[in-house]
Structure 1
Amino acid sequence: MSSFLPAVAEELLREIRNVYQETSQIPDEILLALKFVFGPSALHALDLVDQRAVTVLSSPSGRRVYQVVGGSGHLYTCYTTCHYCPCPAFAFSVLRRSESLLCKHILAAYLCQAMGLSQQETVTDQQMSNILCGKAGPGT
């Protein structure tokens, strides 16, 4: 997962991965733990997972980013390796007020990573460079 998350959050995401691989579902007690650790972001993130709103983009050079379509339809490029999302909720609730560990977009990316449910898309190194510089989406 990410070394930026507290150990309890990382352990919970590992548990989700293990249980989901075996049963293809998440038991109620783990869902409650998810809500306890991540707060209101948990339910919204699970909704994004259900909507298949998470796509992992990978390039031949090995770079990977997650793109998440938010509830408003806005596309956010999330960086799980450095635990960052450009959405307003991340800036306000995570960075400014320290009320949350992360926003729903990054949590959805972590959940999809753990559950193996993200859409996969390969982009060229040039496209990835454009995405990382905030110049364009995967189709350009």
Structure 2
Amino acid sequence: MEATLPAVAEELLKEIKKAFQETSHVSDDLLLALKFVFGSSAVAALDLVDQHSVTRIVSPSGRAVYQVLGSSGKLYTCYASCHFCTCPAFAFSVLRKNDSLVCKHILAMYLSQATGACQELSVSDQQLASILLAEEEEEGPGTVC
């Protein structure tokens, strides 16, 4: 079962996708709504999208994860199915303090999907497993959805 964002966030992302498909841009009203719902993560996420920092990695088995090249130059792995990111900001602001819905990397993932700015990389199942294991070894034991 996939986790869902609050209804207002889900609806806003759908509206952004629809607007972009129809006009190839996002209106100022939608950008303001994005800032209102997601706070300071919105501007940083839009910057990551502009830089084409999001890559969807898929394997023949149908498994997929996203990697986002953060502003620090570090790659973070995002899991769309449960809105989880391996970055420290996610652990602190989303999980610990509960003052953000998502981190900028997850929001960039959703926005890049909506605007078609998401790069795609096909890898073998073994390569995907290696990517996930490398992330796990780097971060230490933790929860992966």
TM bracket (short chain): over 0.9
Deviation at 1:115, TM superposition (A): 1.5
Residues 41-63 of structure 1: CA deviation (Å, up to 9, x unaligned): 00000000000000111111001
Q: Percent identity?
A: 64
Other-structure match for 1:116: 116
- Count the aligned residue pairs: 135
More displaced stretch, 124-133 vs 63-72: 124-133
| Gap runs ≥5 in structure 1 | none
TM-score, normalised via structure 2 length: 0.89
Could you tell me how far apart the structure 2 residues matched to 1:39 and 1:135 are?
Answer: 28
Deviation at 1:123, TM superposition (A): 0.5
> Which amino acid in structure 2 is aligned with residue 82 of structure 1?
C
CA 1:47–1:135: 2 relative to 1, 3 Å: closer
CA RMSD of aligned residues (A): 1.3
Other-structure match for 1:18: 18
> Which amino acid in structure 1 is aligned with residue 66 of structure 2?
Y
Other-structure match for 1:82: 82
Superposition misfits of 4+ residues, deviation over 4 angstroms: none
Deviation at 1:135, TM superposition (A): 5.3
More displaced stretch, 124-133 vs 15-24: 124-133
Other-structure match for 1:37: 37
| Gap runs ≥5 in structure 2 | 137-145
